[in-house]
Amino acid sequence: MSDMMQRARDLDAADAIAHFRHRFDLPEGVIYLDGNSLGPLPKASRERLHRVIDAEWGEGLIRSWNELPGGGGDWIAMPQRVGAKISPLVGAKPHEVIACDSVSVNLAKLIGAALSLNPGRNVVLSEPGNFPTDLYMIQGQPQVEQRLAGRDEMIEALDESVALLLLTHVHYKTGEMFDMERLTKAAHDVGAIVLWDLSHSGGAVPVDLNGANADLAVGCGYKYLNGGPGAPAYAFVAERHHGDFSQPLTGWFGHAQPFAFSDEYEPAEGVKRLLAGTPPVLAMAALESGVELIAEIGMEALVAKSRALSEFFRECVAGLDLDLVSPREPAQRGSQLSFRHENAYALSQALIARGVIGDFRDPDILRLGFAPAYLRFADIAEAARHLAEVLETGEWERDEYSTRAAVT
């Protein structure tokens, strides 16, 4: 056994959260370094979905909105209940978070909310290279003027015309992390509202929305929270704004009394106002069990292991000719390592053929995610060995590894 594999075994033996791996259904022969894109299936989610389908939908039918067969949490309060379970993972209070819609749709709602909190201003400031949907949602608002500034110019670009600073906390491609507290304060100093996209943060890195005095946030349910493909996202509005904000998607579920069926819209209290339509119960149930599992493991242990895993990978590949684009300091990056390589796509395909699933981000990034809830140090040593072999043998140069699929 190699030295690194021996070390990996020792680290696994000392890992206090190692046993949580068995709570996931992971396919044989796969080392999954893509939990930052789609988290794997928690065993409890399979059971939960069967129960929702057979008992709650099949037997309970419409009665399950109010009361489940055999008791338990009803359907109608799912968005608030799941939001409350997410809240401690991101440093929020239970009534400040709600689970609903996609990140994209919640961005549209919260950009609108920010404008409602900051009337008279119309500039939304973000960074070039932010996750596309964040920029597209800014561009889709007819009354908004988009301003983009690089990381080094961000604070300078904040002035009294800025209504909203919209940033992704952990960059999806590079894993770079913004200093949430510092930027939030800089934005507040010029009277701007801040909206943090936590898609690559929630369940992976320490987030303290209230500690940073954040205003608004969104986050993804299907990445580190393991909520399943297309899982609902979550949205946060700080309590101090609950009385004042409005949002443009004024659907009936965000009404103060949806079942009064009145003609006039009257917003519900707090984050409930962010709801638009009927919650997708099956998807919400899967998200709930994913979130419960992450909450059970606990952020402190997850963060410590995430850092240890990625640092161990760095050690394992130290001798290889790889260009790390993620910050070297673990506390300054998300739970991922990204490497720049001219043939990153072919490299990622050659790794997938060996059962090491990471991903490629256009144009030249090989991105490896180190989700701490289920990965072993032994997986890390193995993945590093495969990467070394693929590079050394030039295996990635095979034709079959350069044809692109629709989803990369």
Ligand X SMILES: *Cc1c(COP(=O)(O)O)cnc(C)c1O
Judged by the rule CB under 6 A, the positions of this chain that interact with ligand X are 102-104, 131, 133-134, 168, 172, 197, 199-200, 220, 233
Cβ at position 12, least distance to ligand X in Å? 29
Nearer to ligand X, 103 or 390 (CB): 103
Known catalytic membership, residue 223? yes
85 labelled catalytic:
no
Q: Can you list the pairs that 316-322 forms with residues at least 24 positions away whose Cβ atoms lie under 8 Å? A: 316/4, 316/380, 316/381, 316/384, 316/385, 317/384, 317/387, 317/388, 319/388, 320/387, 320/388, 320/391, 321/391, 322/391
Please tell me the distance from the alpha carbon of residue 354 to that of residue 300, in angstroms, as a whole number.
32
Q: Do the beta carbons of residue 334 and residue 177 sit within 8 Å?
A: yes
Task: Rank residues 314 and 361 by Cβ distance to ligand X and give the closer one.
Answer: 361
CA distance 113 to 116: 5
| 179 in catalytic set | no
- Which residue among 197, 215, 359, 379 is the active-site one? 197
Is residue 131 annotated as part of the catalytic site, yes or no? Answer: yes
* Cβ nearer to ligand X, comparing 144 with 233: 233
Of 32, 172, 222, 345, catalytic: 222
Contact 103, 233 (CB under 8 A): yes
Min dist. Cβ of residue 232 to ligand X (A) = 9
Active-site residue (options: 81, 109, 173, 223): 223
> For 10, how many CA atoms within 13 A lie in the half-sphere containing its CB?
8
Does the bond joining 79 to the residue before it have cis omega, within 30 degrees of 0?
Answer: no
Query: Min. distance of Cβ 311 from ligand X in angstroms?
Result: 23
Residue from 85, 109, 173, 367 carrying the catalytic annotation: 367
Give the span between the Cα atoms of 354 and 38, in whole angstroms.
19
Q: Quick check: is 377 catalytic?
A: no
Write down the least CB distance from residue 134 to ligand X, Å.
6
Task: Please measure the distance between the N-terminal and C-terminal CA atoms of the chain and give it in whole angstroms.
Answer: 34
**CA angle 400–401–404, rounded 5-degree value:** 95
In the complex with ligand X, which residue's Cβ is closer, 129 or 267? 129
CB of 169 to ligand X, least distance (A): 9
286 in helix, strand or coil? helix
| Catalytically annotated residue among 32, 131, 313, 377 | 131
Smaller CB distance to ligand X: residue 200 or 386?
200
Q: Which residues are catalytic?
A: 131, 197, 222-223, 367
